[in-house]
């Protein structure tokens, strides 16, 4: 993590051991969480304007593309783990659950209900970049609807989720392809999602 250098990923400066455990030291990000930003938009406008939402998506997907190219999965993306600086720049933080893709390919990490993908709840679930993309899409779902998704395993067994692209109040404010791209990343089956952040970015930029 300390080798990473990306403007939208919180820097890790060093790590140390104490009290029979390990700690790492990160930069201080001056800004609220995405959960707080979304709440403020809903309070004053009723929705997040498309331009800042699009900008956040592009920047975070670029960060995830960089992270995955370095063989690292975050595995705990959620509204509280994306901070927004005073100039509106999103920063991904909290790498406590992160895993090296070359060393850890099965699910042995803590789940966050409503954000973790179904495979993260399986003892032998195969984790991959699409796992992080599901969690980011779930984070966007919350930002747009103020509702968390049902648990991943529940959606895998019986999915009743209404696609964002089918919600009239969202279609009134957002490009349908933007909404459809989030829906795709939210597919319970990993093979139906984007396999890489770059593919999602391509869809967004071609809208």
Question: Catalytic amino acids?
Answer: 76
Backbone phi, then psi, for 172, in 5-degree steps?
-70, -20
Alpha-helical segments (H) within 70-147? 129-145
Do 79 and 142 form a contact (C-beta atoms < 8 A)?
yes
Do 195 and 177 form a contact (C-beta atoms < 8 A)?
no
Gap between the Cα atoms of 194 and 80, Å rounded: 23
Coil, strand, or helix at residue 196? coil
| CB neighbourhood size of 58 (10 A) | 16
Helices then strands, each counted (H, E), the chain? 7, 6
| CB neighbourhood size of 43 (10 A) | 8
């Amino acid at each position: 993590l300390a080798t990473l250098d990306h403007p939208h990923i919180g820097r890790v400066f060093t790590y140390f051991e104490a009290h029979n455990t390990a700690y790492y030291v990160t930069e201080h990000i001056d800004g609220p969480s995405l959960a707080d930003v979304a709440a403020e938009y809903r309070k004053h406008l009723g929705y997040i304007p498309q331009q800042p939402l699009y900008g956040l998506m592009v920047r975070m997907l670029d960060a995830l593309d960089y992270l995955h190219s370095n063989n690292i999965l975050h595995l705990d993306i959620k509204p509280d783990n994306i901070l927004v600086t005073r100039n509106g720049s999103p920063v991904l933080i909290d790498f406590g659950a992160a895993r090296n893709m070359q060393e850890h390919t099965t699910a042995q990490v803590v789940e966050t209900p409503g954000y973790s993908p179904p495979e993260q709840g399986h003892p032998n679930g195969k984790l991959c970049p699409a796992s992080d993309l599901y969690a980011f899409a779930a984070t966007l779902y919350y930002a747009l609807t103020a509702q968390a998704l049902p648990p991943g395993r529940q959606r895998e067994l019986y999915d009743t989720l209404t696609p964002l692209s089918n919600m009239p109040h969202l279609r009134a404010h957002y490009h349908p392809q933007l909404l459809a791209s989030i829906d795709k990343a939210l597919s319970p089956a990993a093979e139906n999602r984007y396999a890489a952040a770059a593919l999602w970015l391509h869809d967004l930029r071609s809208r």
